[in-house]
Protein backbone atom coordinates (compact mmCIF):
# COMPACT_ATOMS: atom_id res chain seq x y z
CA UNK A 1 0.00 0.00 0.00
CA UNK A 2 1.45 3.39 -0.88
CA UNK A 3 2.47 5.69 1.89
CA UNK A 4 -0.35 8.22 2.06
CA UNK A 5 1.32 10.21 4.78
CA UNK A 6 4.21 11.25 2.56
CA UNK A 7 1.97 12.60 -0.21
CA UNK A 8 1.43 16.35 0.15
CA UNK A 9 -2.14 17.39 0.54
CA UNK A 10 -3.31 19.70 -2.19
CA UNK A 11 -6.39 20.54 -4.14
CA UNK A 12 -7.88 17.63 -5.96
CA UNK A 13 -6.21 17.14 -9.29
CA UNK A 14 -8.21 17.65 -12.41
CA UNK A 15 -7.52 15.10 -15.07
CA UNK A 16 -5.95 16.66 -18.11
CA UNK A 17 -7.26 15.21 -21.34
CA UNK A 18 -4.54 13.56 -23.29
CA UNK A 19 -4.72 14.17 -27.00
CA UNK A 20 -2.99 11.80 -29.29
CA UNK A 21 -0.99 13.30 -32.09
CA UNK A 22 -3.23 13.11 -35.07
CA UNK A 23 -1.83 12.28 -38.47
CA UNK A 24 -3.75 15.24 -39.91
CA UNK A 25 -1.76 18.45 -39.81
CA UNK A 26 -3.49 21.65 -38.82
CA UNK A 27 -4.43 23.74 -41.82
CA UNK A 28 -2.00 26.51 -42.60
CA UNK A 29 -3.41 29.97 -43.21
CA UNK A 30 -3.93 30.68 -46.87
CA UNK A 31 -2.40 33.96 -47.98
CA UNK A 32 -4.60 36.44 -49.78
CA UNK A 33 -4.42 35.99 -53.54
CA UNK A 34 -2.23 38.41 -55.36
CA UNK A 35 -4.02 39.98 -58.29
CA UNK A 36 -1.80 41.08 -61.10
CA UNK A 37 -3.71 43.03 -63.66
CA UNK A 38 -3.44 46.15 -65.70
CA UNK A 39 -5.17 48.92 -63.86
CA UNK A 40 -5.52 52.61 -64.40
CA UNK A 41 -4.81 54.82 -61.43
CA UNK A 42 -6.45 58.11 -60.74
CA UNK A 43 -6.22 60.50 -57.86
CA UNK A 44 -9.99 60.96 -58.05
CA UNK A 45 -10.98 57.35 -57.45
CA UNK A 46 -9.98 53.72 -57.11
CA UNK A 47 -7.93 51.89 -59.70
CA UNK A 48 -10.14 50.13 -62.20
CA UNK A 49 -9.24 47.17 -64.41
CA UNK A 50 -8.29 48.00 -67.97
CA UNK A 51 -11.11 45.82 -69.33
CA UNK A 52 -13.67 47.83 -67.37
CA UNK A 53 -12.23 51.11 -68.64
CA UNK A 54 -12.21 49.82 -72.21
CA UNK A 55 -15.88 48.88 -71.94
CA UNK A 56 -16.72 52.24 -70.40
CA UNK A 57 -14.86 54.05 -73.17
CA UNK A 58 -16.68 52.07 -75.88
CA UNK A 59 -20.08 52.75 -74.29
CA UNK A 60 -19.28 56.45 -73.81
CA UNK A 61 -18.13 56.80 -77.42
CA UNK A 62 -21.26 55.06 -78.72
CA UNK A 63 -23.47 57.27 -76.57
CA UNK A 64 -21.76 60.43 -77.82
CA UNK A 65 -22.12 59.31 -81.44
CA UNK A 66 -25.83 58.50 -81.04
CA UNK A 67 -26.89 61.42 -78.84
CA UNK A 68 -24.24 64.07 -79.60
CA UNK A 69 -23.81 64.56 -75.85
CA UNK A 70 -21.50 63.02 -73.24
CA UNK A 71 -22.82 60.15 -71.17
CA UNK A 72 -23.55 60.71 -67.49
CA UNK A 73 -22.23 58.51 -64.70
CA UNK A 74 -25.76 57.30 -63.99
CA UNK A 75 -26.32 56.30 -67.62
CA UNK A 76 -22.90 54.64 -67.80
CA UNK A 77 -23.58 52.70 -64.60
CA UNK A 78 -26.91 51.45 -65.96
CA UNK A 79 -25.42 50.45 -69.32
CA UNK A 80 -22.48 48.66 -67.67
CA UNK A 81 -24.47 47.15 -64.80
CA UNK A 82 -22.16 48.59 -62.14
CA UNK A 83 -22.69 50.72 -59.06
CA UNK A 84 -22.73 54.50 -59.42
CA UNK A 85 -19.36 55.02 -57.63
CA UNK A 86 -17.69 52.60 -60.06
CA UNK A 87 -19.29 54.31 -63.06
CA UNK A 88 -18.26 57.72 -61.71
CA UNK A 89 -14.66 56.56 -61.25
CA UNK A 90 -14.62 55.04 -64.74
CA UNK A 91 -16.00 58.23 -66.28
CA UNK A 92 -13.42 60.32 -64.44
CA UNK A 93 -10.62 58.13 -65.81
CA UNK A 94 -11.72 58.26 -69.45
pLDDT digits (tens, 9 = 90+) for 16-52: 666 555 556 666 666 666 554 444 444 455 689 999 9
Ordered alpha helix ranges (H), the chain: 50-67, 73-80, 84-93
Question: 72 exposed, middle or buried (CB, 10 Å; 0-12, 13-18, 19+)?
Answer: middle
Q: What is the pLDDT of residue 40?
A: 45
State whether residue 20 is helix, strand or coil. Answer: coil
Q: What is the pLDDT of residue 53?
A: 95
Could you tell me if 74 and 87 are in contact, meaning their C-beta atoms sit under 8 angstroms apart? yes
Between 27 and 85, where is the model more confident? 85
Q: What percent of the chain has pLDDT over 70?
A: 51
Amino acid sequence: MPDEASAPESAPTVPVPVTAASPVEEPKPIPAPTVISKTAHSASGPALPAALLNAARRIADTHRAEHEAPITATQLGIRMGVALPVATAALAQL
